A and B are shown apart, each in its own frame.
Chain A
Amino acid sequence: MTFDDPGLDERAHQDRVREHLGSDHSSIDCTGNDIATRFWQTVWRTEAPVLRTAPTPLSILSGLVRASGYKVVLTGEGADEVLGGYDLFKETKVRQFWARHPDSEGRAALLRRLYPYLDLHQRQGLPYLKRFFGQGLDTPDHPFFSHLPRWTTTARIKDFYSDEMKEQLTEDPLEDLLPRMHADFATWHPFHRAQYLEAKTLMASYLLSSQGDRMLMANSVEGRFPFLDHRLIEFANTLDPRHKMRGLVEKSLLKRAMEPYLPESTVRRHKQPYRAPDVAAFFQDARPHPVVLDALSPESVRAAGYFDPDRVSRLVRKAASGRAVGAKDNMAFVGVLSTQLWHRTFVDGQVPATPKGVSQA
């Protein structure tokens, strides 16, 4: 899968592994328009609102697999959760280390090492990073310590809710989540707690369902997940966290095990999460794709009732001008759009047509 945006595209790294192994691979390019055109179909298949467009390219990819005559694929889901690959775990480690001496500038400066692929920190002063990642720093034993900064950012999307939604949604989702954790959760190492939370929340409901199985099954392709084999998980659960993340080197045991088989630069590479263009996929030369004009019009937004039409219009204008570049705006845009399309499909009962001029994907 290749993308125009060099921040998302990994073809150079993919080619290097392919050449090293001497394997015969197929690739397929995914444009923003491909995503925008298929996004309603994606939501029809996820049957749930999503905050990223990343499922859509995977439905295109499973279409390529099916068209090549295969019905089963091996895929790497779970490796980062089970063996400690995500920058979120790095972030947790740095924040725990910093929380022991909150006044240490050197410890706080490690925050600059996080999320290099987001390209956020170039002009950003350390005080801003400290404020963001310092959320919950005074309660390092909090059961959800690892995920608090991320969840706070995501929760900002709720600003777009209509007044009626805000009145009705009064529960605290964290209180709802706590009883669903393992009975011994609070006694575990903070690294293990972060792994468990990630697997129980994002992996189970989003990565394996919305982005995984549903996009594979859209083309009748079955995924097999070797990293989610229970024997591997049971083994990984016996490992000390330092064998998963050595210093700030993620998945270090897996990397060491794979060293003989992969190019050195691949093993040394910083974790690159799979991402697809979000807001950018829906605008061409500042013009919104028809799906946006339709689903995010003030009339549609008002009729569905979940969001405030005026705020949504301002977000669409900001997106059209190319200024909605932050994670919060991107998640809000995709979240509102997918909720609107979800409503249209499952409440209004309309079903998307197969896009013209493309294979069933």
Chain B
Amino acid sequence: MTDTQKIRSFILDTFLFTDDPSALADDESFLDRGIIDSTGVLELVMFLEEEFGVFVDDADLTPESLDSVSSVGAFLARKRA
């Protein structure tokens, strides 16, 4: 599984409670869809830190970096570079 696939499958299972890939497009905004609620962003951060071994700084917690499957993928690539 690629990183993007792992991220998408985590989001689908954790926040949308499905494995149907058509439930979420890669560039759909988590905030616009109401997928990330007040604790959702922390669940996402925990997943990134545990699954990929990156450290997510408080300053990274912005909608720009963590608001869609694509932006999380790009964020992860930056973190690992």
**Residues on A close to B: CB < 8 A?**
118, 120, 123-125, 127-129, 131-132, 152-153, 156, 159-160, 310-312, 314-315, 318, 323, 325-328
Measured in the bound complex, the distance between the Cα atoms of B10 and A318 in whole Å is 11
Whether, in the assembled complex, B74 has its beta carbon less than 8 Å from a beta carbon of chain A, the answer is no
Measured between beta carbons, the chain A residues less than 8 angstroms from B16 are 159
Q: Is the CB of B58 within 8 A of A123?
A: yes
Tell me how far the C-beta of A334 lies from the nearest C-beta in chain B, rounded to whole angstroms: 16
B24 within 8 A of A: no
CB B6 to nearest CB in A, in angstroms, measures 16
- Residues of chain B within 8 A of A314, CB atoms compared: 13, 17-18
- Those of B14-61 within 8 Å (CB) of chain A: 14, 16-18, 31, 34, 36-43, 45, 58, 61
Highest count of chain B CB atoms <10 Å: which of A127, A129, A160: A127
B18 touching A120, Cβ below 8 Å:
no
Q: Other than the known A124-B38, A128-B31, A310-B18, what 5 A-B pairs have Cβ atoms closer than 8 Å?
A: A123-B45, A128-B36, A152-B34, A311-B18, A328-B37
Sort A-B residue pairs by CB-CB distance and give the 4 closest, nearest first.
A326-B39, A311-B17, A125-B61, A314-B17
In the assembly, what is the distance between CA of A132 and CA of B14, in Å? 19
Given known pairs A124-B61, A160-B17, the reply for A327 and B34 (CB within 8 Å) is no
Q: How far is the CA of A123 from the CA of B46 in the complex (A)?
A: 12
Interface size class of B (residues with CB under 8 A): 20 to 34
Spell out B's residues near A (CB within 8 Å).
Answer: 13-14, 16-18, 31, 34, 36-43, 45, 58, 61-63
Give the distance to chain B from A354, nearest Cβ to Cβ, in Å.
34
Closest to A313 in B: B17
CB distance from A84 to the nearest CB of B (A): 23
* Docked complex Cα distance between A310 and B13 (Å): 11
A311: chain B residues at CB < 8 Å are 17-18
Q: Please list 20 pairs of residues, one from A and one from B, whose beta carbons are closer than 8 Å in the complex, sorted by A's number.
A: A123-B42, A124-B41, A124-B61, A125-B61, A125-B62, A128-B63, A131-B63, A132-B37, A132-B38, A153-B37, A156-B37, A310-B17, A310-B18, A311-B17, A311-B18, A312-B17, A314-B13, A314-B17, A326-B38, A326-B43
Instruction: For the complex, give the distance between the alpha carbons of A131 and B32 in Å.
Output: 9
Nearest Cβ distance between residue A121 and chain B, in whole angstroms?
8
* Residues of chain B with a CB closer than 8 A to A129's CB: 38
Do A326 and B40 form a contact, CB below 8 Å, given A156-B34, A314-B13, A315-B17?
A: yes
Do A120 and B14 touch across chains, with their CB atoms under 8 A apart? no
A327 proximity list for chain B (CB < 8 A): 37-39
Report the separation of the CA atoms of residues A328 and B38 in the bound assembly, to the nearest whole angstrom. Answer: 9
Which chain A residues lie closer than 8 Å to B34 at the CB level?
152, 156
Instruction: Please measure, in the bound complex, the distance between the C-alpha atom of A125 and the C-alpha atom of B58, giving whole angstroms.
Output: 7
Contacts of A123 in B (CB 8 A): 42, 45, 58, 61
Chain B residues near A131 (CB-CB < 8 A):
31, 63
Q: Please, which residue of chain B has its CB at the minimum distance from the CB of A125?
A: B61
Query: Whole-angstrom distance between the alpha carbons of A310 and B38 in the complex?
Result: 24
CA distance A80 to B62 in the complex (A): 35
Assembled-state Cα–Cα distance A170/B35 (Å): 22
Given A131-B31, A152-B34, A326-B38, do A318 and B61 touch, yes or no (CB 8 Å)? no
In the bound complex, residues from chain B placing their C-beta under 8 Å from that of A156 are 34, 37
Please give, as numbers and ranges, the residues of chain B lying within 8 Å of A328 by CB-CB distance. 37
Interface hub of A120, A131, A152 (most chain B Cβ within 10 A): A131
How near does chain B come to A339, taking the closest CB pair, in angstroms? Answer: 16
A120 touches B63 (CB 8 A): no
A311–B41 Cα distance when bound, in Å, is: 21
Chain B residues with CB below 8 A from A315, complex form: 17
CA distance A152 to B43 in the complex (A): 20
A152 to B34, CA, bound (A): 9
CA distance A153 to B38 in the complex (A): 10
Q: Please, how many angstroms separate the alpha-carbon atoms of A328 and B15 in the complex? A: 10
User: Is the CB–CB distance between B14 and A323 below 8 Å?
Assistant: yes
